[in-house]
Structure 1
Amino acid sequence: MGDSSLLDKIKGGLYGVAIGDALGGTTEFMTASEVKRRHGYLTEIVGGGVWRLEPGEVTDDTMMTLCVAEGILANPGSPMTSIGERFLEWYASKPKDIGNIVRRVLSSYDGSWFEAALLTDQDLGRSGGNGTLMRCIPVALAYARLEDVERVSVIQSRMTHYDERCDQACVSYNRIVHRILRGEELCQAIRAEVTGTEYEESLDGDPGCEPSGFVVHSWKWALHFAYNADSFEETVQLAANKGGDSDTIGAIAGGLVGVYYGFERLPDRYRNAILVRDRLDDIAERLFALRVAASGN
C-alpha cells in the first residue's frame, strides 16, 4: 500500500467514527418508529437530539477515540498512562455525553485503572458496555504488527471495562481494520474474523437484538450495517435511522467502513460538517507518521 493510500485510510477511519457519531447523535435513545415520525429518513448531520448537539458536534465516542489516539502517540511503547491522562482531562471538561460505566471509572480512579474498572463492575453489577469498542480504532491505525494491535486493544479496554466481552469485541474490530489496511476487501475481512463466533449470524440476517449499548448488541448491529450496506453513506444512515444507541453504533460501523473507503471517498457534506476536523486531520497525520517511522521508511 502506498503512503498516500495509507494516510487516506487512517484519516477515513477517524472521520468515519466522527461522522457516524454526529449523524447518529440526533436519534440516540429514539426507537426506529420515532425516528421515522420525526425525521422521515435521516440523511443529514443536523444536530439536536437528547444532547442538543450543534450540527457536526460529536459526542463521547469521538472524543474518547481521540484520547486513545493521542495517548498512543505520546508513548507508543506503553500507552496506558498517557491514554488515561487524556481520559481524565476530557472528563474534567464536563462533556455533555458520557456513559455510566466510563463516568464511574473516571470519577473513582485512584491510581490503578484496572482496579477502578473492577470496582465499577462490582458496584454496577455489569461492565459489558460498548464504551471501549467505540474508541478502539486508533490502535489498529497506529500499529502495523498484529501482536501490538491485539495487546493494546485489550489494555485500552480493560482500563474502564472489566468484562472480557469488551476485550474480545475490540480485538475482533481491530483485527478487521488490520486486514483492511493490508488490502483485504471489507466483507472478506469481516467474514474472516467473525466466522464461528456469535456474531456470524448478524452478517446475513437480522441481529435479533435491540440496538442497545451492550457491547454484544452494538457489535452485532455495526457488523450487520457495515457488511450489508453498499456505501459509507448507507452504513451510517442505517445506524442513525435504527435509533437506540445510534451514535455509538454509527461510530463503530462508520470507523470500520471509513478505513475501507478512505477519506477521499467520504461524502464532502459529511466531512465538512464535523466541527473537530482540524483535530482529526492532525491526529491522522501523526498516526501515519508513527507507522512510517516504525517501518523504517
Structure 2
Amino acid sequence: MSRQGAETWRARVRGCLLGGAIGDALGGPVEFEDGRSIVAKHPDGVRAFLPGGDGWPAGTITDDTQMTLFTVEGLIRAGVRTDRGLGFTVAVVQHAYDRWLDTQTMAAPSGERDGWLQGEQWLYARRAPGNTCLSALTEARKGEARIPQFGAEAVNDSKGCGGVMRVAPLGLLPEYFPTDWIFDSAAAAAGYTHGHPTGKLASGTLAAIIHELCNGAGLDDALSRATDLLKQHDGHEETSTALTFARLLAATAPAGPVTVERLGGGWVAEEALAIAVFAALAYPEPEQFLDALALAVTHSGDSDSTGAICGNILGALHGETALPAELVFTVEGRPVILQLADDFALEFIQGKRLHGDYGPHTTWTTRYPGW
C-alpha cells in the first residue's frame, strides 16, 4: 500500500468507526419509540443528540458501539497472534466478545486485566445489551469464568441484528485480505452469537460492502459486488431480497420515514442492513452525511443499530472529514474510538515495527496480547 493509499485507508477506518458511533448515539434515545411520535417531535428527523432513558446524557453510545470496539481490539490481537506462525485467526474476536461480556456482568474492571480496553471504566455501563449476545456468550463459557475454546458457533436460531451491527471492522482490514475471505470471516464472527444463516450472511455482506468501499469502489459497485458474494451462499434469499428492495426504493420512492418502514423495523439482520443501505443510497454525498443518519434512525424500530450501520457505511465511503462536526465532538468515547482506529492502522501497516521475531518487542504486546 502506498503512503497516499495508507493515509486514505486510515481516514476511512476512522470515519467508519466514528461514523458508526455517531449513528448509534443518534438513534439510541428513540429506539422503541413509534415513528409517528418521533416525526411529530422531529419533523426533519433526529438530527441532534438527545438524552436517553436511564439518565443517559446526549451523545451516549450503546452496546452496538461497545461490541464494535471489542471487534476492533480482537482483530488487532489476531494480527499480533500471527507471530506464532498460526495465521490470522478470526476466533480471537470471540475472545474479545468474552471480555465485553465481563463489562456487562461486572461493575468495574477487575485487578486482572487482559489488554487495555477491558480497563476502560466507561465501557462497563449496560446500554440495553442484546439478550442473544449475552446468552450465547454466557452459554459458550460452559459454567467457567472464560470461554474454554474459541471459535464455536452459537447454538441458536437467532437472526437478530446483534451480529451485523458489530462486524464493520472486519471490512476495514487492508486490501491484501480478499473480499470473499472478509465476507466469510464476518459471517463467522456474527455466528459466535447468532446462529441463523441470515444473521450471519447479512453480517458478511456488510463487511464485504465496507471492504469494497475501502478499496475505492463507489457505493453502487460495492453493493453489487457484495451481493454477488452473498448469492453464492445457501440461505441468502432473505438478505438478497431485502437489499434488492432497499435499492429499488432508493431509486423510486421518497426518502422519508414512511419508505424506511416499508423495509421493516431493523430488529433482524437483513432489515437493519437494508434500512442502512437505503439511507446511504438516498443521501450518498459527503455533505449529506447527517441527512442519511437522520433518515436511518427516524423510524419505529431498532434505530441505534440502523444508524450505526449507516454511519459505518458512509464513514468508510467518505472518510472522517465528512462526519458532521457538531456530532463528532460530543459523541461519547471519541478518544478511545480514535485511539483504537489509529492502533488498528498501526498494526496492519507497521506491525513489524511493533512486534514479532523481526521487529522490536515493545509494550504493544502488553497492550494487545496475541490471544
Please say whether Structure 1 and Structure 2 have the same fold, judged by a TM-score greater than 0.5.
yes
After the TM superposition, which of the residue ranges 58-67 and 164-173 deviates more from structure 2?
Answer: 164-173
Q: Is the 8 A contact 1:12 1:258 kept in 2?
A: yes
CA distance in 1, matches of 2:248, 2:184: 30
Letter in 2 for 1:218: A
Residue 211 in structure 1 maps to residue 265 in structure 2: yes
Bigger Cα displacement from structure 2, 159-168 vs 91-100: 91-100
Give the structure 1 partner of residue 302 of structure 2. 245
Compute the displacement of 1:66 (Å). Answer: 0.3
Query: Alignment partner of 1:242: what SS?
Result: coil
2:323 to 266, 272, 285: 266
The structure 2 residue matched to 1:90, chosen from 103, 115, 118, is 103
Segment drifting more, 209-218 vs 108-117: 108-117
CA 1:190–1:54 in 2, change beyond 3 Å: closer, same or farther?
same
Q: Say if 1:25 and 1:58, in contact at 8 Å, map to a contact too.
A: yes
Distance across 1 between alignment mates of 2:226 and 2:290: 24
Deviation at 1:115, TM superposition (A): 6.0
Give aligned pairs, total.
289
Residue number in structure 1 paired with 2:337? 280
Alpha-carbon offset, residue 113 of structure 1: 6.2
Higher relative contact order (Cα pairs below 8 Å, separated by 6+ residues): 1
Question: Which AA in structure 2 matches 1:237?
Answer: A
Contact 2:203–2:269 under 8 Å retained in 1: no
Q: Which amino acid aligns with 2:223?
A: I
After TM superposition, the structure 1 = structure 2 runs for residues 1-297 of structure 1, keeping only pairs within 5 Å, are 2-41=5-44, 42-48=46-52, 50-76=53-79, 77-78=88-89, 79-92=92-105, 93=124, 95-110=126-141, 111=147, 117-118=154-155, 121=156, 126-144=157-175, 145-146=177-178, 147-194=180-227, 197-198=240-241, 199-205=243-249, 206=259, 208-230=262-284, 231-293=288-350
Contact 2:280 2:314 survives alignment (8 Å): yes
SS at match of 1:238: helix
| Alpha-carbon separation, structure 1, partners of 2:172 and 2:152 | 28
Report the alpha carbon displacement of residue 295 of structure 1 after superposing the two structures with TM.
Answer: 10
Change in CA separation of 1:143 and 1:182 when aligned onto 2, cut-off 3 Å: closer
The answer to which of 277-286 and 197-206 deviates more is: 197-206
TM-aligned CA deviation for residue 71 of structure 1: 1.1
Partners of 1:211 and 1:244 lie apart in 2 by: 4
Distance in structure 2 (CA, Å) of the matches to 1:115 and 1:284: 27
Give 1:44's aligned amino acid.
Answer: A
Q: Gapped runs of 5+ residues in structure 1? A: none
Distance between the aligned counterparts of 2:14 and 2:215, measured in 1? 16
1:114 CA displacement: 6.5
Partners of 2:226 and 2:152 in 1: CA distance: 31
**Cα deviations across residues 77-113 of structure 1 (Å, max 9, x unaligned)?**
2224532332223322351311121121233332356
Deviation at 1:221, TM superposition (A): 1.0
Residues 27 and 304 of structure 2 are in contact (CA less than 8 Å); yes or no, is this contact kept in structure 1? yes
* In 2, Cα distance between equivalents of 1:91 and 1:156: 19
CA distance in 2, matches of 1:142, 1:192: 17
Tell me how far apart the structure 1 counterparts of residues 159 and 72 of structure 2 sit (CA, whole Å): 22
Output one character per residue of 1:238-257: Cα deviation in whole Å (capped at 9) or x when no partner. Answer: 01212310000000111011
Report if aligned partners of 1:203, 1:228 keep a CA contact under 8 Å in 2. no
Q: Which structure has the larger Rg over C-alpha atoms? A: 2
- Whether the aligned pair in 2 keeps the contact of 1:108 and 1:116 (CA below 8 Å) is no
Q: CA deviation at 1:228?
A: 1.4
1:200 is matched by which residue type in structure 2?
Answer: T
Q: State the shift of 1:171 in Å.
A: 1.3
* Deviation of the 1:186 alpha carbon: 1.7
Cα deviation, residue 22, structure 1: 0.4
Within 2, Cα distance between the matches of 1:26 and 1:81? 28
Task: Report sequence identity in percent.
Answer: 23
Structure 1 residue 223 displacement after superposition = 1.2
TM-score in terms of structure 2 length: 0.72
Q: Is the 8 A contact 1:105 1:117 kept in 2?
A: yes
The range that moved more, 273-282 or 99-108, is: 99-108
Q: CA deviation at 1:137?
A: 0.8
